Amino acid sequence: MKIEIDDTVLINTIVEKVFGRLKPLLNNTYNKEKDELFTVESLAKYLHVKKPWVYNRVHLNEIPFIKMGKFPRFRKSEIEKWLEKMQTPVIQPLSNKLKMLK
């Protein structure tokens, strides 16, 4: 069976997407550490929290995770994005000097 595609826009889009995925690997800039998978125990250690805290966040779908059978796993890059979203922004920096209370 021979399939002919004469839509060059479609082909170029496919080529760009494939190249975009391969470029980090070809440039050796792919960071394997970013794709590291954490277990509940290793994530708890990484975040300096207890394991029940992690399980609770998984149960409430508050933390990004991958289900491997019955075991949740956590991609380091997704956890870092999640942490960035949780960061509290500075609303107003202090402009006046703080006064000492007596």
In-domain check, residue 97: no
102 confidence band (pLDDT: 50, 70, 90): low
In-domain check, residue 90: no
In-domain check, residue 37: yes
In-domain check, residue 27: yes
Q: Report how many domains make up the chain.
A: 1
Q: Which residue has the higher pLDDT, 33 or 39?
A: 39
Collapsing DSSP states into helix, strand and coil, what is residue 18?
Answer: helix
Pair 65, 81: CB distance under 8 Å: no
In-domain check, residue 28: yes
Provide the domain limits for residue 81. 8-85
Q: Where are the alpha helices (DSSP H) in the chain?
A: 8-26, 40-47, 51-59, 76-86
What is the residue-wise DSSP string for 43-55?
HHHHHT--HHHHH
pTM above 0.95, yes or no: no
pLDDT at 7: 74
- Measure the CA–CA gap between 10 and 4, rounded to whole angstroms: 12
Among 10-24, 31-45, 53-67, name the one with the lowest average pLDDT: 10-24
In-domain check, residue 26: yes
